[in-house]
Amino acid sequence: MTAYRYHLRVLAVVIAVSLLMPSIALAQETQDDNSEKLNNFTVDAELMTRSELRLGGLPDNEEDNDNKAYFILERTRLGLDYERTFLKAHITAQHSAVWGQAGKGSFNLYEAWVQLTSRKGFFAKIGRQVLSYDDERIIGSNDWAMAALSHDLVKVGYEGGSHKLHAMLAYNQNAESVNGGTEYRNGDKPYKLMQNLWYHYDHPRVPFGASLLFMNQGLQSVNEENLDKTYYQQLLGTYVSYRPKQWSLEGSFYYQMGKNDYGLDISAWMASVRGTYRPSTQWGINAGYDILSGDPYFAVPPGGGFGLVQHKTIKGFSPVYGSHHKFYGAMDFFYITSYYDGFTPGLQNYYAGASYMLSNKLKFDATYHYFAIATNTENLDKPLGHEIELSASYTPIKEVTISAGYSYMHGTETMERLKRVDNERNLHWAWLNLIVRPRFLQVKW
């Protein structure tokens, strides 16, 4: 199929869904003429302020080993919600910045979507929206980051009984260029095209759930020889959970294939397992293991590179649009910041933790991580280091949450060489976070 025909089919799907949405709503309202119609409009806000103190971290170069920093971040969101029978609409404006930052920081429309549903469980949702699936390892909101994640797409699906099926379609461009072709470069998202299919099964009487995810991404070529080409990358995998009484067991496996934006073949995978035990509502313990495949050498573009080992298959797994801060250590050394010079040796993450609720307003958490790379590399040992995380959260009223945390990492020589961290290998990070979510207005008619 030529790229031109493919784009025509993408456009046809978008138009068909757009035409179908009003038909669904009209049919349902015709059936519901005799019932009371309820309109609900709300105005909400979220104001988040977070201060961070970093002692040791990622220096700009090898000589800069005393990398200390203190700063305050802020994020403000204003959300408008409208809901009536079979119709929902939502808009969220977002501003994020560092206190004292020159200019106006970052201001954008974080969400803007409309959704129509049918009585039988079918729905269509179009616009800029947040995606959150399963444990958010592959597709999540990444809400810890000030900018967070949202996507411009069409989503259609069905939710009823024990079954959920969602199909998603995204097509990105830099501008409405008439003469510039369909190239997409340096946009808000790395993908030009994306199609996702997600299926989930669970049953209220059985403590078991399972999901299947398929993702196809079209990436604009960065190879100088064919800049107008689009390469396609696929991801296929599953997430399962089993939660009998006080226990919770989770596991996932995903495989990546296709080609990256250089046109190199991809063959990468990841797996995870996690167990949690809660003998009471007050406290619980957990442990787990993550492994993400990697490359033993630097990735080399098709044109080659002096002194580098040429290999044509990328084995480093990318967790794409997940909430990485949630899984691979609170200090964000992995999959939020990259290894030195784009090296992808993968990651192993062994962890164990405990949580304790002193009251329904005050909670404490502690987690230990042992990190190692996943591949055998020349002149490097696998261990990366040990990380300890302590945090507490307090909710005096339902609209306000105050949280604080401290993390310490003792890195190895491998960590120092791959991440260019502090030579003393002792890294500290502390933070204090305030979130206020007031509701300004709620009107029903």
Higher pLDDT, 425 or 244: 244
Please enumerate, as own/partner, the contacts of 165-168 that have beta carbons within 8 Å and a separation of 24 or more.
Answer: 165/197, 165/198, 165/199, 165/200, 166/196, 166/197, 166/198, 166/199, 167/195, 167/196, 167/197, 168/131, 168/194, 168/195, 168/196, 168/197, 168/198
Q: Give kind and range of the element (H or E) at residue 31.
A: helix 3-31
Higher pLDDT, 58 or 270: 270
Overall residue count recorded for the chain in this entry: 445
Beta strand segments in 373-421, E: 383-397, 400-411
pLDDT in the model for residue 27: 47
The percentage of residues in the chain with a pLDDT greater than 90, rounded to a whole number, is: 66
Phi and psi (nearest 5°) for 442?
-145, 120
Instruction: Name residues whose C-beta falls within 8 Å of residue 242's C-beta, 6 or more positions apart in sequence.
Output: 207, 208, 209, 248, 249, 250
Three-class secondary structure of residue 12 per DSSP: helix
pLDDT band at 66, cuts 50/70/90?
Answer: low
The answer to whether the CB of 324 falls within 8 A of the CB of 337 is no
Q: How many whole angstroms separate alpha carbon 147 and alpha carbon 138?
A: 18
Domain ranges of the chain: 3-444
Per the prediction, the chain carries an average pLDDT of 87
* Range 320-331 average pLDDT: 93
pLDDT of 158-191, one tens digit each?
999 899 999 999 999 988 876 767 888 888 889 9
pLDDT band at 303, cuts 50/70/90?
Answer: low
| Neighbouring C-beta atoms of residue 230, cutoff 10 Å | 21
pLDDT of 340 higher than 80: no
Q: How many whole angstroms separate alpha carbon 445 and alpha carbon 428?
A: 53
Instruction: Name residues whose C-beta falls within 8 Å of residue 431's C-beta, 6 or more positions apart in sequence.
Output: 50, 51, 52, 53, 404, 405, 406
The percentage of residues in the chain with a pLDDT greater than 70, rounded to a whole number, is: 84
pLDDT of 228 higher than 90: no
* Range 67-77 average pLDDT: 90
pLDDT of 28-49, one tens digit each?
454 444 456 689 999 999 999 9
Q: Give kind and range of the element (H or E) at residue 216.
A: strand 206-220
* Range 38-65 average pLDDT: 82
What is the CA angle 116-123-145, rounded to 5? 90
Buried b vs exposed e over 27-40: b needs ≥16 C-beta within 10 Å? ebeeeeeeeeeeee
Q: Looking at residue 321, what DSSP letter applies?
A: B
Give the residue among 432, 348, 419, 422 at the shortest CA–CA distance from 382: 348
Arch. (CATH architecture) of 3-444: Beta Barrel (2.40)
SS3 labels along 63-96? CCCCCEEEEEEEEEEEEEEEEECCEEEEEEEEEE
pLDDT in the model for residue 188: 86
The answer to whether the CB of 216 falls within 8 A of the CB of 232 is yes
The answer to whether the CB of 401 falls within 8 A of the CB of 386 is no
pLDDT in the model for residue 53: 93
| Neighbouring C-beta atoms of residue 62, cutoff 10 Å | 11
pLDDT in the model for residue 297: 74
pLDDT in the model for residue 79: 98
pLDDT band at 226, cuts 50/70/90?
Answer: confident
pLDDT of 20 higher than 50: yes
Residues facing residue 114 across a β-bridge: 89, 126
pLDDT in the model for residue 174: 87
pLDDT in the model for residue 278: 95
